[in-house]
Amino acid sequence: MADITRRLGWRHLRSAPTAYVRHHRRGQLAHDGTGLSFWFRALSAALSEVPVDDRELAMAFHARTADFQDVTVQATVTYRISDPATAAGRIDFSVDPDTGAWRSAPLEQIATLLTETAQQHALDVLARTPLAAALADGVASVRQRISEGLAAEPRLPATGIEVVAARVVAVRPEAEVERALRTPARELIQQEADRATYERRAVAVERERTI
């Protein structure tokens, strides 16, 4: 958020190096750039502030596999606003000339666009993948599909947004299914432990007989 102070009817704005500010005075562009500092009159000013640093967006959504099993996808998308002038013209980044706070919620609009786009591509690949394959290779396949889908999405560059990276943290089934899948593995581990215990006891008994 821009730092705005008051003095004798004037306002002074100071922005961070990672913030792009656009100042219109009576409809004409007066200031335009990152890390700006200038005086202005509140009554005749229209201000916009666009962050240009890398930002991470965590997302989680539900999907259904080819065998009709529900899974939860947890992912993170790193993005930046590479063309802040375009973004300011497409999304409302206007700020209050008294407080420097955004008048709306522009980052929430971007988050919605990125989440819905990523979700669309994840749903598409998981709908053609059985649960077993989704749990074994789903992280890699979903990450690749989301990355390719975001790179090909025309609305992102048209809004001045660049996706830096996409990561999929997990593809998890429902709790009951996960417990059911773990049961055979736990039973196998227990059987191996019991077998090892039996073998150790047999060796001990044999040694006692030898003695």
How far is residue 169 from each of residues 59, 76, 77, 78, measured CA to CA in Å? 10, 7, 11, 13
Residue 188 has pLDDT above 60, yes or no: no
Look up the CATH number of domain 55-82+104-174.
3.30.479.30
The SS3 of residue 97 is: coil
What's the pLDDT tens digit per position in 146-178?
A: 999 999 999 999 999 999 999 999 998 887 776
Q: How far apart are CA 166 and CA 146, in angstroms?
A: 7
Residue 48 has pLDDT above 60, yes or no: yes
Full-model pTM: 0.80
The SS3 of residue 160 is: coil
What's the pLDDT tens digit per position in 123-143?
A: 999 999 998 888 888 899 999
Q: How far apart are CA 55 and CA 49, in angstroms?
A: 15
Residue 117 has pLDDT above 80, yes or no: yes
> For the chain, which residues make up each domain, given as ranges?
55-82+104-174, 175-211
Q: Residue 184 — very low, low, confident or very high, per pLDDT cuts 50/70/90?
A: low
